[in-house]
Structure 1
Amino acid sequence: MQVNVVGAGLAGCEAAFQLAERGFKVRLYEVKKIQKNEIQKTDLFGELVCSNTFRSNSLKNAVGILKAELKLLNSVVLNVAYETQIPSDDALAVDRNNFSQKLTDIISKHENIEVIDLDFCEIDENPTIIASGPLTTLKLQEAISKITGKNKLFFLDASAPIVTKESINFDEVFWASRHNQGNGNYICIPLDEEKFNAWHDELIKAEVVALPEFEKEIFFNGCQPVEILAKKGKRNLLNGPLSANKLLAPGQEKPPFAVVQLRQDDAIDSLYNIVGFQTNLKWPEQERIIKLLPGLKEAQIIRYGVLHKNNYINSPKILNPSLQVMRKKSLFFAGQITGVEGYLESVASGMVAALGMVAFLTKQKFQPLPQETVIGALTNYVTNSKHKKLKPMKANLAILPPMEQQFSDRKLKNQALCDRALASMEAYLLK
């Protein structure tokens, strides 16, 4: 039996692999070699166009629990991420090119997967999972809108600049951890109050790329451009990407007023991205603002930050808990186009769509993943018909059902949520 999977991003690769491993023949459609969108740089699958990190490994937070759940489900994307991991304290960061190359090799060489370089735009009755991402081609958008309706939703997302390590002046920076815990794998740029205020003043008056008038500025909260945060007030930076986090430079007894951090971006330790510096500034302005920071006066910027529009469907009105279109049973959606936000969240939705497709093809009743799991709760969030209007969502503990037991310590509560989630997932897999 054959299935179409549209899009070889993180969700599409996960869905294609899970189906192929279960013996289904998969036609994986990818348009990148023919037509790249404005943020794609390579022909590789699972391209990480924003950050190179899959975020925290800690089981005390939602994304760490999500990783543990995906491990139990044998996620190919998560396995490749660990195989291409680079130092990043508590975070699972990868060499983005090595990651995408390895994932591409696994998917393209699988005996049950046929890769087709084509702009898929004809949705028929054949079993299909659309995981085309938030930058779906216009032709496919038109085909989707005939099924989902014309009420398109979108939000604006941004990526951060990357600089070369050799261009950083290490006499003006120091090494430490992201949140003062870990092995000190982040480059830290200290700012006193005077330098911070002067830099902030330059940032808020820097020129941005003008948006088309028809696009309302709807930013996803987790990826707001740094200049937007700055314009909302200095505290947004000091409590966010420029938090000092009680970090101490060698020989110092007092933390800096603010700290800019850079995280390793490749396996050979030559590139670093500026953490939390998603931006829509014009490129000359990005260079000017970055070079005002201590240690970055001679910074060589090899990738500038960009802003892009992410399209997504109104999933609560369209999809059931298996991410199946309610009015077209042979069609499923996965990835950011469903309203999940984040790399692993997209992977999880690809997993759910694949499991839903298996149930559909084998004429079995789909068993939703337990809402006590992060994957189950996230899927429930994006398909819950109670939402008047869907807002993109990352994994977080607030979407999990509350615990009956009361906890005086948040860490104990989070551990209990983790234990419950993994026990629920293990029980689900035994059914």
Structure 2
Amino acid sequence: MTEPVHIVGAGLAGSEAAWQVAQAGVAVRLHEMRPAVGTFAHRTGDCAEMVCSNSFRSDDDVMNAVGQLHWEMRAAGGLVMAMADRHRLPAGGALAVDRDAFSGAVTAALRAHPLVEIVPGEITQLPRAGRWIIATGPLTSGALAAAIAAETGAEALAFFDAIAPIVHAETIDMGVAWRQSRYDKGETEAERTAYINCPMTREDYEGFIDALLAAEKTEFREGETAGYFDGCLPIEVMAERGRDTLRHGPMKPVGLTNAHRPAEKPFAVVQLRRDNALGTLYNIVGFQTKMKYGAQVEVFRCIPGLQDASFARLGGIHRNTFLNAPRLLDDRLRLRPAPHLRFAGQITGVEGYVESAAMGLLAGRMAAAEALGRDLAAPPGTTAMGALVHHITGGAEAKTFQPMNVNFGLFPPVEGRGGRRGRKDRYPAYTDRAKQDFSEWLATA
């Protein structure tokens, strides 16, 4: 009888890995320390709990690299994408989900699978035998992080990640705010009105920036340095880079028309995105923060339309641990000093929900193939999954390695396109090639 594959961590990567292993006919033991051992960010013991945004970002599989990654995961029978599609919320061109229903559905599917056993309890040491996937994510426990550091001979790298606040919808002043997706994007009325927008005049914006810069922030402990992932910068860090940074970033007013004052162009706009199926909760888009709780309430209530806001969750900041993957992992996601250990998810140095789950999908398929006596290589580098694996296991420079979202810059150029072309021509060429190459890989995987 084939020995089971052990997976540590039931986040997005671990849950997807468990599903892929079980679907291949190999038994899985999925180890999860929650809820007995909690983290500052998690609220439940459910699998695949989403602790930051509720969005998987763009679902456009023609013009967007993350949309192509969605396509590949669906094609591979991914559990995360299946449950995301089942519990999606209107969000224009993005794939946003009801986070509680989504994680509940992933948990139920895994518990119902006859080859999956969810084992409660914390793993504090790296096992010396067996077949294991470590998918503990950015909030790897201190004991296990220390064990990984001891095994690799070097401390794991780390940066700081931040979480955006969530607002009770009934406390948003819709006499000031209005519903509209940017550029009215979406096929249905619900999608075209998926976001709530709070307008700002120049005076509002300048006052908000002043309050933001003056607010009391979370202090780092002695010896910690603040290295942030650029795709998830706290808003106050962005504001420190220049007073107009936010207005050209998450608060850009383009593609929006104030329904209450259509003749007036907002100087800046704060967007909120639906966070649950009931439409009772909205998260403030791009407003990750390290402000202290009291300061958050004071500063965010400076936003027109949120002057009476009640918060279901305030923002926060946490340490995000990841490996120097180009030095430590091979192209099968195995730890070079201990190849019985695979790693998956954000701890490998990918950034984002979808990227993490995709690495779980590959690690699970590779571990299952190995258990069944086969060797499975990663998809070609022309695919979204393959491009990510190539980047983290050798494409990136180890000395300067930092977490990375999937993007077309990781894809090799398309041959025969001739000269420099615009993205309207180049991006479909990338995704057409990726779909063909991924389908061919999948047929033999």
TM-score, length-scaled by structure 1: 0.97
- 1:425 — aligned with what? 438
Distance in 2 between residues matched to 1:180 and 1:256, nearest whole Å: 16
Amino acid at match of 1:109: A
Out of 170-179 and 65-74, give the one that drifted further. 170-179
| Structure 1 residue 254, shift from structure 2 partner | 4.3
- 1:416 — aligned with what? 429
SS of match in other structure, 2:7: strand
Distance in 1 between residues matched to 2:334 and 2:358, nearest whole Å: 15
- 2:176 — aligned with what? 172
SS of match in other structure, 1:134: helix
Distance in 2 between residues matched to 1:178 and 1:246, nearest whole Å: 5
Contact 2:145–2:156 (8 Å) recurs in 1: no
Contact 1:335–1:350 (8 Å) recurs in 2: yes
Distance in 2 between residues matched to 1:121 and 1:228, nearest whole Å: 34
- 1:68 — aligned with what? 71
Distance in 2 between residues matched to 1:327 and 1:362, nearest whole Å: 23
| Structure 1 residue 274, shift from structure 2 partner | 0.4
Distance in 1 between residues matched to 2:300 and 2:155, nearest whole Å: 39
- 1:345 — aligned with what? 355
- 1:89 — aligned with what? 92
- 2:346 — aligned with what? 336
1:387 to 393, 398, 421: 398
| Structure 1 residue 361, shift from structure 2 partner | 2.1
Q: How does 1:6-405 map to 2 (within 5 A)?
A: 6-59=8-61, 60-122=63-125, 123-182=127-186, 183-250=192-259, 251-384=261-394, 386-404=397-415, 405=417
Out of 355-364 and 132-141, give the one that drifted further. 355-364
Distance in 2 between residues matched to 1:15 and 1:365, nearest whole Å: 17
Distance in 2 between residues matched to 1:293 and 1:416, nearest whole Å: 42
Amino acid at match of 1:422: K
- 2:189 — aligned with what? none
Distance in 1 between residues matched to 2:289 and 2:258, nearest whole Å: 27
Query: What is the CA deviation profile of residues 1-42 of structure 1, one whole-angstrom value per residue up to 9, with x for unaligned ones?
Result: 211000000000000110011111111100002110111111
SS of match in other structure, 2:179: strand
**RMSD of the TM alignment (CA)?**
1.3
| Structure 1 residue 368, shift from structure 2 partner | 2.1
Out of 360-369 and 202-211, give the one that drifted further. 360-369
SS of match in other structure, 1:263: strand
TM-score, length-scaled by structure 2: 0.94
Distance in 2 between residues matched to 1:363 and 1:397, nearest whole Å: 34
Paired-residue identity, %: 38
Contact 1:29–1:119 (8 Å) recurs in 2: yes
| Structure 1 residue 252, shift from structure 2 partner | 1.4
Distance in 2 between residues matched to 1:57 and 1:289, nearest whole Å: 33
Out of 171-180 and 155-164, give the one that drifted further. 171-180
Ranges in structure 1 where 5+ consecutive residues have no aligned partner: none
Distance in 2 between residues matched to 1:139 and 1:197, nearest whole Å: 45
Amino acid at match of 1:396: N
SS of match in other structure, 1:384: helix
Contact 1:27–1:116 (8 Å) recurs in 2: yes
Distance in 1 between residues matched to 2:52 and 2:97, nearest whole Å: 12
Distance in 2 between residues matched to 1:387 and 1:329, nearest whole Å: 19
Contact 1:9–1:46 (8 Å) recurs in 2: yes
Distance in 1 between residues matched to 2:101 and 2:57, nearest whole Å: 18
SS of match in other structure, 2:436: helix
SS of match in other structure, 2:405: coil
| Structure 1 residue 292, shift from structure 2 partner | 0.7
